[in-house]
């Protein structure tokens, strides 16, 4: 799986925080929190699939939140 790049938010404008935990069924959950530094917008995504999946979903949601904030 490839890590996506945003057409609207530069990589240098994103702070990435990662974590993981195990749920009540002992399944590993990856967590990625993205913060757009210039706006302070934040998104956190939890994923059973993996860290890259969580990152891509978080980036997609951060882009959506950013574009909605512009309108």
Would 5 be classed as within a structural domain? no
Q: Is residue 50 part of a domain?
A: yes
In a domain, 4, yes or no: no
pTM assigned to the model: 0.92
Q: Residue 1: is its pLDDT beyond 90?
A: no
Integer Cα distance of 20 and 46 in angstroms: 9
User: Does some domain include residue 43?
Assistant: yes
Residue 48 lies in a domain: yes
Expressed as residue numbers, the domain containing 30 is: 11-70
pLDDT digits (tens, 9 = 90+) for 6-64: 999 999 999 999 999 999 999 999 999 999 999 999 999 999 999 999 999 999 999 99
CATH of the domain at 60: 3.30.160
The predicted pLDDT at position 38 comes to 97
Q: For 2-15, give the secondary structure using H, E and C.
A: CCCCCCCCCHHHEE
């Amino acid at each position: 799986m490839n890590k996506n790049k945003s057409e609207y938010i530069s990589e240098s404008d994103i702070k990435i925080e990662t974590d993981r935990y195990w749920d009540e069924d002992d399944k590993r959950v990856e967590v990625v929190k993205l913060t757009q530094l210039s706006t302070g917008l934040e998104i956190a995504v939890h994923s059973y699939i993996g860290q890259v999946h969580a990152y891509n979903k978080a980036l997609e949601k951060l882009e959506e939140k950013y574009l909605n904030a512009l309108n």
